[in-house]
Amino acid sequence: MGDLVTLGYMSVTKAPAEAREPYLAAVESITRSNALHGSESLCKLLRYLAGHALQNPGVALKEYQIATEVFGRPRDFDPHLDSAIRVQAGRLRMKLAEYYATEGADDAIVVEFPKGTYALTFHRRTVDRGRPLAAPVSSETQTRGARNWVIAVVVLSFLLIVAAAAIAGLWESQRQAIASVPVTPPVPQPLRTFWKGFLAGPEEPWVVFSNAAFVGRPEIGMRYLNPAKDSHALVQDHYTGVGEVLGVHELDRVFHLLYREIRVKRGSLFSLDDAKHNNLIFVGSPAENLTLRDLPIVRQFVFQRLSSGPQKGDLVIVNLHPASGEPQYYRATPSDMPLTEDYSLIALVPGLDPSGSVLILAGLTTIGTQAAVEYVCREDSLSKLLARIAMTPAGDVKPFEAVLQVKVARGVPVESNIVAVRNET
């Protein structure tokens, strides 16, 4: 009789240099899997944790160390205020579970990431052939066994017939259920083309939404901070507009379709250090997204407040180099009237690091901001934009600036049209 084969686990607590290769190879196999496809930051974290675990077994890592050495966070990173590392660790645990439930179900080496620690462990699946051989069987026992075997065959045959009928019914119900599930459509090509540059970076892009400084309270009235006469001790900096909220939601939907994550941060907490090595998407105008004021990156259209005239104090988009037939200013409905018309800027410009990109999606009001985001997240409108902007021979979008005219009804953007475009020459 053959040996009984059972599976077990052999814990690896120490890995000498000559024995590390199989474990590193197992880690690389995971990084190439479908579970981690497109998650370069998680692959980077997994490799770092694996290298540390094999070189320093039993030595725990700190959040600060991971934040600064893996994700390039500044030296003043505070894990009590920023949960990014805990979020990434949780995502990696889920991805490892997904991998071993599918592609890695038969892997010889198992990589585990226990909760409550930042230390990986490795287990090697082993076989146990310790079952003894059976004792000799008597002739009487053989006869009785043969008779029981015949009875068992008859009973099993009947059960197989019943089981086959049940399986057939189950298969039919499963087939009908599968047929009723909608098939996820492929990602539209305009989305792939426009967002290509934001998918290829080593880190997820930052989405920075406007976070203006207000004084007052909602129940007694709020207004923008006036630094000349308002005390900074009274500043409220935890409000944003409806358009920004809906815009971030729309961007999250699109990046989910593109199998990519985004990182979201409010403008008041964003720093220029964050801007140096990341792709950025700004949602909201410089009037409220104050970080944009420190990034002099647009050359054709800028946001300014009018200093004179009937709309004095209102925000406008200034056309620095008007083409024939174009106005010098793009103005929304006056602030003392119901909003029926707004204007937005969509601008793709190089980042502080030339290898990165900055996308600005900003309206004169929060409704215009919403319209700008929706314009680059919907297939039909994005196709119109791609037809107006320049592309590289490799199929990448060149830097551009475009102005949208937005029709508004009851606080909702109902129609947006391109009224001016500037391509980088």
DSSP letter string, 32-56 = TSGGGTT-HHHHHHHHHHHHHHHHS
Per-position pLDDT tens, the chain of length 425: 333 333 333 334 444 555 778 888 888 999 999 888 878 888 999 999 988 888 887 777 888 988 888 888 888 888 877 788 888 888 898 889 889 888 888 888 898 888 888 888 888 876 544 444 444 445 554 555 556 666 666 667 767 777 777 776 766 666 665 455 444 457 889 999 999 988 877 788 889 888 776 777 777 777 776 767 776 666 666 677 888 999 999 999 999 888 888 888 887 777 767 667 788 899 987 776 666 665 556 678 988 888 888 888 888 999 999 999 999 999 999 988 999 999 999 999 887 777 788 899 999 999 999 999 999 999 999 999 999 999 998 889 999 999 999 999 998 999 999 999 999 86
What confidence score (pLDDT) does residue 142 get?
A: 53
What confidence score (pLDDT) does residue 80 get?
A: 78
Residues 122 and 110 sit within 8 Å (Cβ to Cβ): yes
Please give the Cα distance from 239 to 236 (Å, whole number).
Answer: 7
What confidence score (pLDDT) does residue 419 get?
A: 96
What confidence score (pLDDT) does residue 38 get?
A: 77
The DSSP secondary-structure symbol of 21 reads H
What confidence score (pLDDT) does residue 9 get?
A: 34
pTM: 0.57
What confidence score (pLDDT) does residue 277 get?
A: 73
126 sits in which H/E element: strand 121-128
What confidence score (pLDDT) does residue 236 get?
A: 67
Cα atoms in the Cβ-side hemisphere of radius 13 Å centred on 294:
13
User: Who contacts 208 (Cβ-Cβ below 8 Å, separation ≥6)?
Assistant: 265, 266, 267, 270, 280, 281, 282, 283, 289, 291
The SS3 of residue 9 is strand
User: Who contacts 308 (Cβ-Cβ below 8 Å, separation ≥6)?
Assistant: none
Q: What are the structure tokens assigned to 124, written together?
A: 């090697």
Helix ranges (DSSP H) in 104-259: 139-180, 189-194, 196-199, 242-257
What confidence score (pLDDT) does residue 310 get?
A: 83
Residues 291 and 213 sit within 8 Å (Cβ to Cβ): no
Please give the Cα distance from 135 to 116 (Å, whole number).
Answer: 50
C-alpha dist (Å) from residue 323 to 300, 319, 345, 385? 11, 9, 17, 19
The SS3 of residue 290 is helix
Please give the Cα distance from 213 to 238 (Å, whole number).
Answer: 8
